[in-house]
Amino acid sequence: MEIYLMQHGQAFPEEVDPERSLTLEGENQIQASAHALRRIGVRFDLIVASPKKRARQTAELVARSQDYPDSDIKTTETLQPTAPAQEAMAFLKAYGDKERVLLVGHLPSLGEVAAALMSEEGKASIQFRMGGICRIDVDLLETGSGQLQWVLNPELLKLIAKDSLAGR
C-alpha cells in the first residue's frame, strides 16, 4: 500500500474564523499541490480526512483535481491533531485492499503516524509543511514496516504544477 500523508493548507486563525477554514492562499496552495500530484501521475483509491474543516477542504480540493467524488471522502477522528498514531493505523487496516491512500490531517498526529509507519520505536521525523505531502510504502500495516519514498514540500509542488497552472 502507498500511504500519502498531507498536512492541510493554510487556515485562518481561530480568532478570525472559529472553524479555521482555508484562506485563499491556502486554497491556492492546495490546488497547486493537487495539480502537481496529478502531473506526476499520483492517483488515489481512497482519500481520508480529519473532520476539521481545513482538512476536509484540503481533501476536497485534491479529490476534485482527480475526479474523485467528494461523497467518497472518508472522515475519521483518528486524524485529529492529537490522535494516537496507532488509531490511524487501525483505521487503515479496514482498507487494506486499497493501493494508494491519501491521509489529510494535522500536526503533530501526521508526524506520529509517519514515525509509527517507519520505525518500531516511533522515532522518525519528517518535516511536514502546509500543503506538502510524503509517500510511505508498506507491505503490512504494522509499526516499523514502512519505507519513505519521497517528501515534497509546497514550493516543489508549486514548481511541478507551474506549467499546468499557467494554462488556467
Residue 60 has pLDDT above 90, yes or no: yes
User: In whole angstroms, what is the distance from residue 100 CA to residue 86 CA?
Assistant: 19
Q: What is the 3-state secondary structure (H, E, C) of 22-35?
A: ECHHHHHHHHHHHH
The arithmetic mean of pLDDT across residues 25-51, rounded, is: 96
Report pLDDT digits (tens) over 91-125.
Answer: 999 999 999 999 999 999 999 999 999 988 867 88
Predicted structure pTM score: 0.93
Q: Give the distance, in angstroms, between the CA of residue 148 and the centroid of all CA atoms in the same chain.
A: 14
pLDDT band at 140 (very low <50, low <70, confident <90, very high): confident
pLDDT in tens, 127-139: 899 999 999 999 8
Averaged confidence pLDDT in the chain: 93
pLDDT (0 to 100) of residue 121: 80
Report pLDDT for 124.
82
The Cα angle at residue 147 between residues 146 and 149, in degrees rounded to 5: 135
